[in-house]
Structure formats: structure tokens, C-alpha cells
Amino acid sequence: MYNYDSHDQAFVEARSREFRDQVERRITGKLSEDEFKPMRLMNGVYLQLHAYMLRVAIPYGTLSADQMRKLAFLAEKYDRGYGHFTTRQNIQYNWPKLIDIPDMLDHLAEVQMHAIQTSGNCIRNVTSDPFAGVAGDEWIDPRPTAELLRQWSSLHPEFAYLPRKFKFAVTGAAEDRTALKFHDIGLKVKPGVDDNPAYEIWVGGGQGRTPRIAVLFEDNVPLSELLPKLDSMLRVYNLHGRRDNKYKARIKILVAEYGLENYRRDVEEDLALQSLEPFEPAVAEYHRIAKDFEQSDLTPLPSASNGDNPPALASWIKQNVTSHKVPGYGVVSISLKPKGGIPGDATAEQMYALADLADRYSQGELRVTHRQNIVLPSVAAKDFAALHEALVKQGLAEDNIGQLSDIIACPGLDYCALATARSIPVAQELSTQLREREKRDDLSGLTLNISGCINACGHHHAASIGILGLNRAETESYQITLGGSSNDNASVGGILGPGFAQSEIPGAIDRILDFYIGSKQEGESFNQTYRRLGKAAFREAVYVAA
Amino acid sequence: MWLLKKDGSWLPIDSSELITANRVTPESFDGDLEHIAQTGQSVIISFSGPHDGRGFSFAKRLKQFAPELKLIASGGLTPDHARLCFQTGFDEILLSEELVVRQSASAWQTAVEMSVDKTYVEGKVHSNIPSIWQERALAQSIATNE
Ligand code: SF4
């Protein structure tokens, strides 16, 4: 893991002091609410429906056990005993008091954490592959690049007030586990020359009201040119992105309306003017950072036999453990989607337990996934049984990773001031229903994502089955989309038809699944069946059969 | 009106003293940097409000194109914008009496020494302290030479 040096530490402590001062100036009226709002947002503080919410950055989803303990402590001391892990690998606290937030930031700084740029119209927390460094299909570890981007973008003087929020994802593996093509900029890291990486830069992806899949901006960009190029890409966006309509302000709209070729030309023209001096240390910085991520030597172990395992353990291993690049180890995903539970929520007690388990079984390291689960990246196969037993005691042994019941859901109308409908109760009811159904049908590989409004934080566009909560004539109405995907062949789900009342959703989902299972050909995925048969066939099965 | 300078000094100013400055808004900029550079020694770049960051990128580009130009920021800024202004190429910030009184003169006077005074890429505003990355590179080269 990356370890802060004295500069990093001084930086987060200074930011914490700065925010304390901003809060004081707001309280004494020196700053108006209009002036203060972007400052608090840039530090992850939202005003939600019932209280302030603090979003804490978990850069590229990587956490140490001590950091997880600190998150548990914050949940216990300043919240109501739980936290919510988000689709951008962050954690949110829903009930802190504004006056306590500077203290929370001081606590975070003690363990090399912060809330810098977790919201606001700036460059947000950089996300990455939760299996980084341990995945067998990895070309190159994306975390040094993600950390380099974190440093470059942190309190960047030019990009604090962009037209809209700006999201980066970085991956270095064959399988995309980051929803890369739904980001403003996605970077694919590949081996370059002289031990330096090179990059594919994808631009203009995003969800929200106008979902777009990113397009390739440039291939094979050497490390030494990466940051000047990104600086120019952001500068052109900052100058020309639309500010008259927040729904048209993301870079995806600029690229679509202005045209990729024009955008590229403007970036090149800007680049020609740029002074490269500030970026000169970047290559050395990358290698300094990369040293911290070199895998501590894991000794290959003989693979443990799972033949005699009790069924619950065997099923959990089959579903939740992915192969590790070092023989004898596994990458263990811990589901935060218990039957009937709230997706992504963990209690303080569970967070403390996860920290202890990371220390005992996974070199003190954890990851957060964009599907709102937790990963222990390096667990010896001989420890699977003991780990599983400990997880059962904490209610964390759900064996549904990659199943349909591994639902993504945003907080929706239970917390979010922007929501048009509730997401959490829909997810809770469906997870109960789907866990039962998974006992008889193979629903692995399908995804179900729920958003409480068109902002699409619950990634509904990118799911095999997406649910979008809307408000129609003062009642909640849920629109279903089918055929979305966030992997390398990213696609945006298509709207199936008129919306459903909340009580009608379970029946509609059942009919979709009945039709898929009854119609699929050997080895066919849900999206393949959907594309082969077309929307009309599914529509008929869902609406006519109702 | 008041002018806050990059070195932290602070002086009252009569608006007539700025009569020769070229005034531009980033939103009406047509891309012709050369034209702006030729029309005067000083350019006042107006921010449309505290949420609109176009002025920072505009200043950065203009300063790179014509380093000799004096760039002055104006608009509804707060002391927290001062670091951003000076690190992106502005030389001065023009402030109304209202901004100074409400946000407090002391906050403006210490604006360039706010808690975060340098970043990974940009150094301190009014001293020669380099960026964090440059400091690390310097420390590394000293360590290598020793
Ligand atoms: S999708 Fe809408 S309701 Fe859900 S968290 Fe985002 S803004 Fe809130």
C-alpha cells in the first residue's frame, strides 16, 4: 500500500485546518451559504434530507486494517453505528453534525485519509480495480497511476470549479472491473518502454440523464506525457464545457456536441502552449509510489483441497473467491448484500471485525469494490474455512458475489435530497426474493442496479436489469431497463416500457427472469438473450403476461 | 476598491487607475490570445461568480502565451480563491468594499497563507518554495549526490 511521507501528511493536515477555518467563517457569517457550499462539497459534506452527510475518500478502493478501524470508530462516535460503502469506492456517514466534521477530518488525517474532492464540481476520488496487484489477468498494477492522479488532482488550483464533477477510473487488467467506459476519463494502463507504463485514454463516458460510453481519445500515451495531456484535456473542458444547464455540463456532452476531433485539436493546441516544468518530476514520482505497491513476497503454497468442505463453505468459496496470481491464495470478496439488507451498509462492529480479519488473513489490507462489497486481496487457501467461520459470526458470509442478488443501490429517498424515489426498500425486497430464486436458477453473471433518480449513482444504466425510481404524479414509479453492462463491452440498458409501482416490481422481475430462463440458449448470457430476442419479446413477456 | 497582490500586500485603489486595463470575460473569449496580448499591459479577467472556474484556466493559458501581461482577477471571489488565482497566473485580485468588509479584511490579508499553501504540482504563491513533487525531486537529487 502507499504510505504517506511527511509532505502527504502535512498536506492532509493543512486541508483539515483549512476546512475548520471555513466552517468557522460560515458559522460567523463571513461566508454566505452560496460561497460556502462549493467549499463544503469539495470536502465531501452534503446537506441531505435529514442531516449533513460526510463522504470520505478511499483512494482507488484500498484500505489498511487501521484505516478500516478508524472508519468504524467514526461510525460509532459520530454516526449511528454504521457507514455506507458507495459505488465510487468511498464511504458515507449519514448523520454527522457539521460542527463535528473538522474533528472527523483530524481523525482521518491520523491514518492518512481525507475527504478531499469526494464531491463538488472537481476531480473526484480516483477509482480502480479492486483486484489490483493480485489479479491473474493484470498487465500492470493500476494503483501507482491512480495514486499519481490523486496527487496531481488534489486541490489542483485550476480545476476546483469545473462545469461539473469529473470522474477518473484506472485499470490495468484484461477484465474491466471499474466500469471504465462510464467515466469522464478512463485510463487503461499497459506496459510501455523502459519499465514505464503507457496508457489508453478513454473520454466522455458517464451515466445520469444522458448515458454515454467513453470513446478512445488516444492510445499508447507514454507516462511522461500523461499528466500534461490530462491537464490540457481538463483545461479545454473547463473553458468550453457548458455551464448553462447542469444536465449538459459533463465532458460527455462537450465531446458529443463539439466532436471528438475538434476536442482533440483544441487539446493539442493547448498542449503546445503548456510549460512542462511542473510535470518533470512525475516519472520519478510514479516509480517512488510504485515501490510501495510491490507485492510483499507471498510464498506460493500448495492449493488446498476443497473436496470435503461442508456445503455452505464450498458454496461460499465457489461464489466469493477468485483466483490469485500467486498459487495457493485467493482473492476473497465479502458480500455487503445480505438477504433483506441494505446494499453497501456495514456496522461499526462489522468494520472492526473486517479490520481484524484483514490483519489475520490478508496482510492487513482490504479493498472496496464499485459493487459495494469488500475484498480481502490475499488469503491463503488453507485459511478459507477459518475466515468463513468468522464471517458467519458477523453476518458477512453471504455467498452471492456475482449473483443477481448482489444488488447495487444508491441511498435514494431515504437519505438523498436529490432523490425522486426510494431505492433501499426496493433492494431489500428484491434481495430476499432473489436469494430464494438463486436456489433453483443459475443467476450468476446477471446484474441488478437501482438508482433513486436520474443522476444514476446506482448505475442502473449499466446493469443487465436496471431500476430507476422516478416521481410520476406525486407517486413513486420505477422504470426498468434491460441489457446494460459496465464491462469492456459496455452498453447502456434500454427502457423496457411504462413504469411500475413499487409493489409491482417483484412480479415484473420474476417475469423477466422466467422469460430469460425459458428462452436462453446453451451458454448464453442475459444480455445475449436480450439482444437475440429483442426488447419487444421481453416487453410482451412482462406487460402482456401481467 | 482594493487590490490584493501576489506578495500578500494590500492597497486601496481608485477604479480610474484601472481605466487602461483590458477587460475580458472567459465566457466571451473567442480564442484570439494574440489580440488580447496586444491590447494592453494589464488584463482584468472577470469571474461570473464564486462557482465559475473558467477564469483560472483562462489566466493559465493567457499567462503561458504572454508571460509579461499583468493579470487581475475580479468578480465575487472569496479569500479561498486567492491561492487558486495566484497559482494559475494572476498577479492581483481586485476586491469590492463589500467583499472586504463581509469576508473580513484579516481573511484577505492572510489569504495567500491559508492552510494549504502549496500542492503537489504548484509551489507556494509568494515565496520560492516549490511544489511537493519538486521538493521531493530536490531531496532525492541531494541524497543521490551525497
Ligand atoms: S441516484 Fe439520485 S437518489 Fe440516488 S444517490 Fe444519486 S442523486 Fe441521490
SS3 A326: coil
Looking at the complex, report in whole angstroms how far the Cα of residue B52 sits from the nearest Cα belonging to chain A: 6
Contact by Cβ (8 Å): A129, A166? no
Which segments of A2-157 are extended strands (E)?
45-47, 52-56, 62-64, 82-85, 91-93, 127-128
Question: For chain B, what percent of residues have pLDDT higher than 70?
Answer: 100
Q: What is the pLDDT of residue A306?
A: 66
Stated pTM of the model = 0.95
| Other CB atoms within 10 Å distance of the CB of residue A95 | 17
Secondary element (H or E) of residue A379: strand A374-380
Question: A-contacting residues of B 53-92, CB under 8 Å?
Answer: 53-54, 56-58, 60-61, 64-65, 76, 78, 80, 83-84, 87-88
The label of the residue with cell 407517486 reads A475
> What is the Cβ-side half-sphere exposure of residue A465, based on CA atoms within 13 angstroms?
29
- Give the whole-angstrom CA distance, residue A487 versus residue A402: 13
Chain A residues closer than 8 Å to B27 by CB: 243
**A519 Cβ closer than 6 Å to some ligand 1 atom:** no
Q: First CA to last CA across chain B, in angstroms?
A: 52
Q: How far is the CA of A419 from the centre of ligand 1 (A)?
A: 5
SS3 B123: coil
The 10s digit of each residue's pLDDT in A423-451 is 999 999 999 999 999 999 999 899 999 99
- Better-scored residue on pLDDT, B107 or A221: A221
The 10s digit of each residue's pLDDT in B71-81 is 999 998 989 99
ipTM, two decimals:
0.94
Q: What is the pLDDT of residue A545?
A: 66
Q: What is the arrangement of strands in the sheet containing A168-171, beginning at the earlier edge strand?
A: A127-128, A168-171, A185-191, A197-203, A215-222
Residue A417 backbone phi and psi in degrees, to 5? -70, -15
* C-alpha A449: how far from chain center: 13
- Give the whole-angstrom CA distance, residue A366 versus residue A60: 11
**A344 Cβ closer than 6 Å to some ligand 1 atom:** no
Looking at the complex, report in whole angstroms how far the Cα of residue A122 sits from the nearest Cα belonging to chain B: 10
**Residue A195, amino acid:** D
Q: Which of B57, B59, B87 lies closest to B73, judged by CA?
A: B59
Contact by Cβ (8 Å): A84, A92? yes
- Give the whole-angstrom CA distance, residue A475 versus residue B76: 41
Best CATH choice for the domain A6-110 from the list 3.60.20.10, 3.40.50.2000, 3.40.50.880, 3.90.480.20: 3.90.480.20
Q: Do A30 and B132 touch (CB under 8 A)?
A: no
* Two domains, one topology: A6-110 and A134-291: no
* Per-residue cell: A331: 482473492
Q: What is the pLDDT of residue A546?
A: 65
The 10s digit of each residue's pLDDT in B56-103 is 999 999 999 999 999 999 998 989 999 999 999 999 999 988 888 888
Looking at the complex, report in whole angstroms how far the Cα of residue A238 sits from the nearest Cα belonging to chain B: 6
**Residue A139, amino acid:** W
Q: Best interface-test mutation with A: which of B124, B133, B136 has the largest number of A CBs within 10 A?
A: B133
CATH number of A311-393: 3.30.70.3340
b/e A189-216 (16+ beta carbons within 10 angstroms → b): beebeeeebbbbbbbbbbbbeebbbbee
| Other CB atoms within 10 Å distance of the CB of residue A259 | 11
A22, A238, A278 member nearest B53 (Cβ): A238
CA nearest A233 in B: which residue?
B57
Q: How far is the CA of A494 from the centre of ligand 1 (A)?
A: 20
Atom of ligand 1 nearest to the CA of A419: 3
Question: Hey, what long-range contacts does B13-22 have (CB within 8 A, 24 or more apart)?
Answer: B13/B94, B18/B42, B18/B44, B18/B72, B18/B94, B21/B72
Residue A133 backbone phi and psi in degrees, to 5? 85, -15
- Give the whole-angstrom CA distance, residue A185 versus residue A206: 9
Chain B residues closer than 8 Å to A271 by CB: none
Superfamily of the domain at A134-291: Sulfite Reductase Hemoprotein, domain 1 (3.30.413.10)
Contact by Cβ (8 Å): A37, A22? no
**A467 Cβ closer than 6 Å to some ligand 1 atom:** no
Domain A408-544 has CATH 3.30.413.10: yes
Q: What is the pLDDT of residue B107?
A: 84
Where are chain A's structural domains? 6-110, 134-291, 311-393, 408-544
The domain made up of B2-113 has a fold known as: TIM Barrel (3.20.20)
Q: What is the pLDDT of residue A255?
A: 98
Q: Do B53 and A161 touch (CB under 8 A)?
A: yes
* pLDDT beneath 70, residues of chain A: 296, 306, 545-546
